[in-house]
Amino acid sequence: MNDAFFKTVARAPAFGFGGGPLDRVSERRDDLAAVAALRARPDARAALIARDMPILPRGEAPLAPFFPLAEVERLGGARIEALLGLEAGGAPVFAALLPDDAVELISGDSEGFLDRRQLVVPGRDDLALIDLRSIAVQGLVDAASLAVLGQAKAILSWHARHGFCANCGAPTRVAAAGWRRECDVCKAQHFPRTDPVVIMLALDGERCLLGRQARWPTGMYSCLAGFVEPGETIEEAVRREIREESGIVCGEVAYLASQPWPFPSSLMIGCLARAASRDIVVDGEELEDARWFARDEVAAMFDKRHPEGLSAPAPMAIAHHILRVWAEGDV
Ligand SMILES: [Zn+2]
């Protein structure tokens, strides 16, 4: 690793949902009085989520996505609340999960690459529900707010799906200001999960390996990726996923950068891998195609002038940055 490598990473220290500005004050989460005092502050605000989708005020970007806590009450009160942390000036920010019936589904579904549900808050034309991916792609909030919205969505979707004890099946209750669930029957404690995913670029000299999934937008190629399995190191997961999806065997693996990915609760671990073989055999299940790409071809994909109309992932995704670092010749 040379200086250029670190300079490149430092140029964009956080991607998409990274770079959260809040002090998470985890040491105060079990202090009920301290949390109640924070909640009572007039400058306390909350990110609002209903059915996995953030609620934003309507208006021009950048939107201010946090609401006074009184708004939570007006919308029916929170099913689950979590203390996300404190802003630099000390103002607390909470995440509030509204009851499902606080919003109405107009049309669409969340299958596939994009969440196409159209949800509304009945009687509230000043509010809009917009899926987090669209908020990021369209730049509807600033980078710091996007990170907080991602934190809110990840923690609340964990709560929404972990209401029962994984050990004994009894209902669990929220503890530690939203950062733990406890079972009163078997006394088990449950913590919010973050699932590690490796996302990597295999390199063969001046070529890189990209693939595409059938459900992706037409023509988009990206880094290969997959979940780290129990008993595996990051390096082993990188080599296994590349071999399974493309048949390419890799040697050396280097870590580049990471990104929280709240769909629903992953941590993307960006790596480079040195290929030791060249013949691609696509698995046909996870990927519908994989190819070697030269640097100038990747540059054309970024500039939307690839002769076959192929494109690279958007800047909200760490894959974009891994690919750009390599395409610009910094590693
Ligand atoms: Zn239990």
User: What is the pLDDT, as a whole number, of residue 328?
Assistant: 87
Question: For residue 36, how far is its CA from the centre of ligand 1 (angstroms)?
Answer: 27
Question: For residue 128, how far is its CA from the centre of ligand 1 (angstroms)?
Answer: 38
Question: For residue 244, how far is its CA from the centre of ligand 1 (angstroms)?
Answer: 37
User: What is the pLDDT, as a whole number, of residue 116?
Assistant: 86
User: What is the pLDDT, as a whole number, of residue 4?
Assistant: 55
User: What is the pLDDT, as a whole number, of residue 284?
Assistant: 81
Question: For residue 210, how far is its CA from the centre of ligand 1 (angstroms)?
Answer: 44
What the block records as the tokens of 315 is 């800047």
Global pTM value: 0.92
Question: For residue 188, how far is its CA from the centre of ligand 1 (angstroms)?
Answer: 5
Whole-angstrom Cα distance, residue 251 to residue 95?
Answer: 43
Mean pLDDT of residues grouped by 10 in the chain (331 residues)?
Answer: 52 77 97 98 98 96 97 96 97 97 89 82 96 94 96 97 97 98 98 97 96 94 97 98 97 94 96 97 90 96 96 93 88 65
User: What is the pLDDT, as a whole number, of residue 1?
Assistant: 45
Q: H-type helices in the chain, by residue range?
A: 3-11, 32-40, 69-74, 132-137, 143-161, 234-246, 295-302, 318-327
Question: For residue 177, how far is its CA from the centre of ligand 1 (angstroms)?
Answer: 20
Question: For residue 9, how far is its CA from the centre of ligand 1 (angstroms)?
Answer: 44
Question: For residue 162, how far is its CA from the centre of ligand 1 (angstroms)?
Answer: 12
